[in-house]
Structure 1
Amino acid sequence: MTISEITPDVDRARWLADADFADAFRITVEAPALDARMAAERMLGQAPAWMAALVKLRNLLVRPFGLKTSGADAQNPRPMIGMFPVVDETPQRIVLGFDDMHLDFRVVIDAASHGKTSQVTATTLVQTHNALGRIYLTIIMPFHRLVAKTMLRQVAASA
């Protein structure tokens, strides 16, 4: 089970046209009929304790700045996976994310079956809006890479 960092291969113009950050990671798992929703649910359904603790800490730290602590929106309710609203969905691709005052982000999860295996790719797109967004992105980047890889490992662990 190897996770590879790859060049992002999504239509940025469609999902986040002015993204100033993008990365992508890919894993191949022993699961012949894995679709994008199943992959997303495995990735985001049950966070390890250390990730849940990081999210709680993040929420405590950003609340005074008026930043969202979840993508849930009472005025515009959408289906959610974990704390992320579903933006778009097909069997092969699910797009999650939301917009906030400091940055907008999308997580694009692609799943492709190949015989007895499936390949899952998680692409992250971020568009910052101001200094707070750029500072926030800089602070979370070391954690982002670790979290993205851990989430992909959860797809393999539950396959």
Structure 2
Amino acid sequence: MQLDDKMPIRPLTSLPADSDLCALRSSADFWDAYSTPLGDISLTPLAIAQHTFGKTPAWVNALLHLRDRLIALVGIRTVGAMTIDPSKPLAAYRVGDKLAIFNIFTLSDREIVLGINDTHLDVRVALIKPADAPGTYVTATVVKTHNWLGRLYMVPVARVHPIIVKAMMRKARL
């Protein structure tokens, strides 16, 4: 299937039932999920993630740079740019490895769960090939805040996050 910018990226009202994030959703302070057609259904979630993060728009990395400068003032850990090592083969990735700014928490043929644990919040991002929707993939995010700083941090992030996710999904059309 040939994909273009006119292909829809749809917000979802629930997480795919087979996602590992479902267990975290009930206690989440923020979550979102988006679905789009997958042009090459043979791709694994890891391949989708590597491709997507490898095509991160420059303005997203500029926002991450600004974020790092601002949060360093209040003692929150910086994350750097959303970059990957394009020479690292997919077969070399394991649970616990880094992919872009995230650690890999789970890795299977149907889902990769990435995340960051910090003092103010925990983030999980999943790229999922739902069993009940062949030919699509889902990007889902779940955030659990730990304190007032995490809740304050999420005020602007919750508004910008959907724009960033949709832009990354569009730019990385698979």
TM-score (norm 2): 0.77
**Alpha-carbon distance in 2 for matches of 1:95, 1:128:** 18
**Alpha-carbon distance in 1 for matches of 2:66, 2:130:** 35
**Alpha-carbon distance in 2 for matches of 1:78, 1:106:** 14
**Alpha-carbon distance in 2 for matches of 1:46, 1:32:** 19
Moved more, 131-140 or 146-155: 146-155
Structure 2 unaligned residues grouped into runs of 5+ = 1-6, 81-94
2:118 counterpart of 1:104: no
Q: Which amino acid aligns with 1:102?
A: H
How has the CA–CA distance of structure 1 residues 145 and 66 changed in structure 2, closer, same or farther, with 3 Å as cutoff?
A: same
* Conservation of the 8 A alpha-carbon contact between 1:112 and 1:120: yes
2:105 counterpart of 1:87: yes
Structure 1 unaligned residues grouped into runs of 5+ = 72-76
* Conservation of the 8 A alpha-carbon contact between 1:35 and 1:112: no
| Structural RMSD (CA) | 2.3
**Alpha-carbon distance in 2 for matches of 1:80, 1:46:** 17
Please name the residue that 1:7 is paired with: 13
Aligned residues: 150
How has the CA–CA distance of structure 1 residues 11 and 95 changed in structure 2, closer, same or farther, with 3 Å as cutoff?
A: closer
Q: Which amino acid aligns with 1:80?
A: K
Percent of matched pairs sharing the same residue: 31
Please name the residue that 1:147 is paired with: 164
**Alpha-carbon distance in 2 for matches of 1:46, 1:129:** 31
Q: How does 1:118-133 map to 2 (within 5 A)?
A: 118-133=135-150
Please name the residue that 1:28 is paired with: 37
Q: Which has the higher strand share?
A: 1
Moved more, 25-34 or 49-58: 25-34
